[in-house]
Chain A
Amino acid sequence: MIRTQLPALQVVIPLLAGPTCLLLHHSRLSWGLATSASWVALFISLALLDQVLATGPISYELGGWAAPWGIEYRIDEINAFVLLIISGISAITISFARTSIEHEVHSKHVYLVYTGWMLCLTGLLGIAITGDVFNVFVFLEISSLSSYLLISLSRDQRALTAAFRYLVMGTIGATFILIGIALLYMMTGTLNMSDLAARIPSVSDTRTVKIAFAFLTAGIGLKAAVFPMHFWLPNAYAYAPSAISALFAGTATKVAIYLLLRFFFTIYGVEFSFETMKLDRILLPMALAGIFVASTVAIFQTDIKRMLGYSSIAQIGYIVLGVSLVSVTGVTAAILHLFNHALMKAALFVALGCVFFRVGSVTRDDLAGIGYTMPWTMGAFVLGGLSLVGIPLTVGFISKWYLIVAALEQQMWWLAGLVLISSLLALVYVWRVIEIAYFGTPGDRSTEIKEAPATLLIPTWILIIANIYFGIDTSLTVGVAERAAQALLGNAS
Chain B
Amino acid sequence: MQVFGLYNYWVVIILMMIGLYVVIASGNLIKKIVGLNIFQTSVFILYISIGKLDRGTAPILVEGVTSYSNPLPHVLILTAIVVGVATTALGLALAVRIYGAYGSIEEDEIQKQDNAS
Report which A residues bind B (CB closer than 8 A).
134, 137-138, 141, 145, 148-149, 152, 157-158, 160-161, 163-164, 167-168, 171-172, 175, 178-179, 182, 185-186
Contact = CB atoms under 8 A, between A and B. Distances in A.
B20 A185 contact: no
Given A148-B90, A157-B102, A161-B110, A185 B73 contact: yes
Sort chain B's interface into a size bin: 20 to 34
A164 B36 contact: no
B80 interface: yes
6 contacts: A138-B83, A148-B94, A171-B36, A171-B40, A175-B39, A182-B47
Contact of A179 (B23, B32, B43): B43
Contacts of A164: 29, 91, 94-95, 98
B114 A175 contact: no
A164 B43 CA distance: 22
B50 A160 contact: no
B80 A137 contact: yes
A163 B40 contact: no
Given A171-B36, A172-B39, A141 B94 contact: no
Given A172-B39, A175-B39, A179-B46, 20 more contacts: A138-B79, A138-B83, A141-B86, A145-B90, A148-B90, A157-B101, A160-B97, A160-B98, A160-B101, A161-B110, A163-B94, A164-B95, A167-B91, A168-B23, A171-B40, A172-B20, A175-B43, A178-B80, A182-B43, A182-B46
A113 to B, nearest CB: 15
Interface SS majority for chain B = helix
Contacts, number: 63
Contacts of A171: 36, 40, 87
B50 A152 contact: no
A175 B86 CA distance: 14
Interface in B9-24: 20, 23
A229 to B, nearest CB: 13
Interface string B31-64: 0100010011001001100100000000000000
